[in-house]
């Protein structure tokens, strides 16, 4: 596998590098040297490399920032993936593009399937949906659009690290309890992507990939603080209090419910991702090892 990894300095890309199959030839592309919004540069870089697989981990992921910078978000999250699809078509590569649960409005009460209507609430969600549509309209046949949710892992800003920082600084945490989704560990997502790429006769298209189970942000925060104590973190917070979304207004609206139906991936691969609680425990073990320099 000759792999072009776009957004190679990011949180998910770190695990993609780590879990790439033995013998893979991996080439990273990221800012400032590589600008995903520059069509000519994207096409030229992929034409020189001639990868067999392109994995796009690059995105403008500041959900609230997208509200005031929607033009930039649309260029990065919308136009850029279309350029990669064009490049993949030109060199005969498979494209893997990472998308989001925020393409959904969150007004369902049962897990979202890949073909359910997409009605994003935020600029971020709209920009990511634009990217999905650009790939689908490109003429490229061999692509995986991988929607995921509540992503966390080493080497990046994420909810887990934010809660850990606040739990050390504050006596109590107040966390939204009326938004529900599935936390997903970057290691699980990267492994699932390579499982898709290993299929001999894959059904290309959109896949929902997230760890099993569901919780609220409040429930996720409670689990984080509990595990932090068990792993010897200097936790100060004694309580994690549930609050309503209306009690914590943010610039960008979030879906109240964005749990995925993952039957398509299970049917294609015969594998399911781990439960989010098990993976959160794995992440804490990994953090401990990194601190010890193991």
Residues labelled catalytic: 124
Cβ–Cβ < 8 Å for 253, 122 = yes
Q: From residue 95, give the alpha-carbon distance in Å to each of 46, 114, 127, 237, 254.
A: 12, 18, 18, 44, 28
Phi first, then psi, for residue 122 (nearest 5°) are -120, 165
Phi first, then psi, for residue 219 (nearest 5°) are -65, -35
What's the N-to-C CA distance of the chain in angstroms?
29
Angle at 82 between CA 39 and CA 182, to 5 degrees: 130
Residue holding tokens 């997230």?
210
| CA 247 to chain CA centroid, nearest Å | 26
Phi first, then psi, for residue 34 (nearest 5°) are -125, 125
DSSP 249: -
Closest of 92, 75, 76 to residue 30, by C-alpha:
76
**166: phi > 0 → left, psi -120 to 50 → alpha, else beta; which?**
alpha
């Amino acid at each position: 596998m000759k792999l072009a990894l776009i957004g190679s300095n990011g949180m998910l890309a770190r695990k993609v590098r780590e879990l790439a199959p033995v013998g893979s030839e991996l080439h990273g592309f990221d800012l400032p040297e590589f600008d995903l919004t520059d069509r000519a540069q994207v096409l030229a870089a992929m034409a020189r490399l001639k990868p067999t697989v392109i994995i796009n981990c690059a995105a403008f992921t500041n959900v609230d920032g997208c509200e005031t910078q929607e033009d930039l978000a649309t260029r990065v999250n919308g136009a850029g993936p279309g350029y990669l699809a064009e490049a993949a078509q030109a060199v005969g590569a498979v494209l893997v593009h990472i998308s989001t649960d925020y393409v959904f409005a969150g007004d369902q009460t049962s897990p979202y399937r890949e073909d359910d209507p997409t009605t994003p609430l935020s600029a971020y969600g709209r920009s990511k949906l634009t990217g999905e549509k650009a790939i689908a309209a490109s003429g490229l046949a061999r692509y995986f659009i991988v929607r995921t949710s509540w992503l966390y892992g080493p080497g990046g800003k994420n909810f887990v690290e934010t809660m850990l920082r606040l739990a050390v600084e504050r006596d109590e945490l107040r966390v939204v309890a009326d938004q529900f989704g599935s936390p997903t560990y970057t290691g699980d997502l990267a492994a699932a992507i390579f499982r898709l790429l290993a299929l001999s006769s894959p059904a290309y298209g959109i896949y929902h990939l997230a760890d099993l189970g569901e919780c609220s942000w409040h429930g996720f925060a409670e689990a984080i603080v509990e595990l932090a104590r068990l792993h010897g973190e200097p936790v100060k917070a004694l309580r994690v209090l549930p609050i309503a979304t209306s009690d914590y207004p943010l610039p960008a609206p979030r879906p109240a419910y964005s749990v995925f139906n993952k039957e398509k991936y299970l049917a294609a691969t015969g594998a399911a991702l781990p439960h989010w609680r098990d993976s959160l425990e794995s992440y804490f073990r990994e953090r401990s090892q990194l601190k010890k320099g193991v």
